Amino acid sequence: MTDRRILILRTVLLWILLEILAAAQVQTPGGERVISAWVRAAISPVLWTGEAIGSFVGDAVTGVSESATLLVTNRELQLELEKTKALNRIMAEDMAAHLELNSLAGLVPNLTATAVPARTTFRDLARGRMIALVTGDRRIPADTPAIASTGVIGRVIHSEGRRCWIELITHPVAAVAIQTLDGRVQGLAVGSDTGELEIQFIPRQAELMRGDELVTSGADGIYPPGLLVGTVTAVRESDKAFLEVRTEPAAALATVRVVLLLDGWMSPMPSREMTP
């Protein structure tokens, strides 16, 4: 840098200092030093920017905090909603069970004194098992028939406290003595692995057609006569001595909620009032 440039630079710096010196001596009409006004004007953008940044940061922090609170509240509301939905499902289930129970009570009016309603709590169709919870504190003996509003379910094989283990009629070892509605054809319905019932001991000359309804005959000494067991779905002749008959269980085993345990069914009961 040449001497002349250095000289000019120094001179300009001196001018700036002199102007600042002069500003420090002069007052505005408001009584403020001019240099103070200059400094204020110079730093006001910085202050404004600082305030804006501070406000932005504050808003951001508030927003994040409120968002977190909102998320927590939302989560609580979601949990509350799930709880309400669960309660609603339980109430709907209870309502459906109540309706089923009413239907059962209407179907078997003569058994209301001795029959025990029970609520199904577990079912395993593959293994032919069901667990039901009786409403009272009454002990249910083994071999007590269990029926639903649509038909026979099975029989009690064990009870403990309020819980009853029921062997479904579809269990491979279960057997129910059946007959047609007119009583001319009698046989034995046994369970199978397919969930259907195989009707055994039906003579080849028996008049049995697909769609015929089969009810309990009472010959097995377990189930009272006249309870609907199922509907014939297939009748086939073979080289065996009896017809091969398959039946669809009348009771909706997969969806049944309430069952009626016919403890003490030995009293007389109407045979056709159980058909839906």
Partner 1 sequence: MKAAILVTLTLVAQVALGLPESPTWLTAILLPMVFVVGAPLMMAERRWPHFALLLGLAWDLVLEPVVGPGAIAWSASAVALGFVVPLVADRSPRAWIAFGALGAGLMIVVRHLALMPLGLATELTGRYLLLSVVLTSLWCGLVGWIIALDLPTRWITHRAKRLR
Interface positions with partner 1 (CB under 8 A): 3, 7-8, 11, 14-15, 18-19, 21-23, 25-26, 28, 34, 38
Q: Give the shortest CB-49-to-partner 1 separation in angstroms.
A: 24
Listed residue (245, 267, 253, 187) closest to 220, CA to CA: 187
> How many of the other CB atoms lie within 10 Å of CB of 266?
9
Q: Give the shortest CB-24-to-partner 1 separation in angstroms.
A: 9
Q: Under a CB-based contact definition with an 8 Å cutoff, are residues 123 and 129 in contact? A: yes
Instruction: Say which amino acid occupies 116.
Output: V
Q: Give the shortest CB-2-to-partner 1 separation in angstroms.
A: 12
Instruction: Say which amino acid occupies 127.
Output: R
250 φ/ψ angles, rounded to the nearest 5 degrees:
-75, -35
Secondary structure class of 153 (helix, strand, coil)? strand
Question: Quick one: which H or E segment has residue 65?
Answer: helix 34-107
Q: What is the DSSP letter of 109?
A: G
Q: Under a CB-based contact definition with an 8 Å cutoff, are residues 216 and 229 in contact? A: yes
Nearer to partner 1, 22 or 57 (CB): 22
Q: Give the shortest CB-60-to-partner 1 separation in angstroms.
A: 40
Q: Give the shortest CB-47-to-partner 1 separation in angstroms.
A: 21
Nearer to partner 1, 11 or 55 (CB): 11
Q: Give the shortest CB-44-to-partner 1 separation in angstroms.
A: 17
Phi-psi sector, 135: left (phi>0), alpha (psi -120 to 50), beta: alpha
Nearer to partner 1, 35 or 190 (CB): 35
- Could you give the count of Cα atoms lying within 13 Å of 159 in the half-sphere of its Cβ? 22
For the CA atoms of 76, 82, 87, 93, what is the dihedral angle to 10 degrees?
Answer: 180
Nearer to partner 1, 8 or 39 (CB): 8
Nearer to partner 1, 32 or 82 (CB): 32
Residues 6 or more apart in contact with residue 275 via CB below 8 angstroms: 181, 213, 215, 228
Nearer to partner 1, 27 or 84 (CB): 27
Q: Give the shortest CB-22-to-partner 1 separation in angstroms.
A: 3
